[in-house]
Amino acid sequence: MTSTARSAADRTTTTPTRSARAGLSHPVARAGVVVVLSFVLGGLTSYAQGFLPDAFASFANSASGWTVLTALLVFWSRLRTAPAAVLGAVSFVLLVLGYTVASQVRGYMYDPLLFSAVGVVAGPFVGVAASWLRATGVRAALGTALLAGIGVGESVYGLTVVRETTSPVYWTVIGVAGLALLVGLLVRRVRGTLPVGLAAGGTVLVAAAFYLAYSSL
């Protein structure tokens, strides 16, 4: 093949890739990807209950599992505060609905009402928190406090309230992940007395509130 032919072939190969990247550079396109992935991943969490090892089975049947997926998807979308709040709610609810549909396909009944309501109420906060992880100062501190606090709070809940019926491994991992997020943001993005205090103190407050709220369900 001549150099001219190779150049033409290279252009043919790279053009679709560049077009795909250009398409995903638009916020609406990224939001659309999050919508689709939320429903698909929600369905997969239902199937994951059948193949995840006992040590991590709680991921597919816990609030933190859907919270982590929502936060990761919204963080990837790189949306600003207001659209991230909307997408957080949409993503969380679609995770629940995907789980519901997959469970019904598998022959199990699941009522999505409770956690759909949780998604509508908590999803916007998770979305905003994920978006603010890209910020600095107070915003990064508040985003970190919410997400780290949820991880730590459910870890404490898992290791105390349901310790007799579930493996401690996942609860330990999600707690360590929450603390790692806190430490990582303190090192990289959170500076100053007020932001540091908000991040650390907020994590404790959110963890305590999550534990009390989840224990009452």
Residue 198, pLDDT score = 97
One-letter identity of residue 8 = A
Residue 50, pLDDT score = 83
Residue 178, pLDDT score = 97
Residue 63, pLDDT score = 83
Q: Are 103 and 45 in contact (CB under 8 A)?
A: no
Q: Which segments in the chain show pLDDT lower than 50?
A: 9
Query: Distance between CA atoms of 198 and 217, rounded to whole angstroms?
Result: 28
Residue 75, pLDDT score = 97
Query: Distance between CA atoms of 199 and 189, rounded to whole angstroms?
Result: 11
pLDDT digits 0-9 by tens, 4-24: 555 554 555 555 556 556 557
Residue 215, pLDDT score = 85
Query: Distance between CA atoms of 47 and 50, rounded to whole angstroms?
Result: 6
- Helix and strand numbers (H, E) in the chain are 8, 0
Residue 17, pLDDT score = 56
For residue 189, what are the CA distances in angstroms to 42, 70, 75, 152?
31, 21, 15, 20
Residue 25, pLDDT score = 75
pLDDT digits 0-9 by tens, 88-99: 999 999 999 999
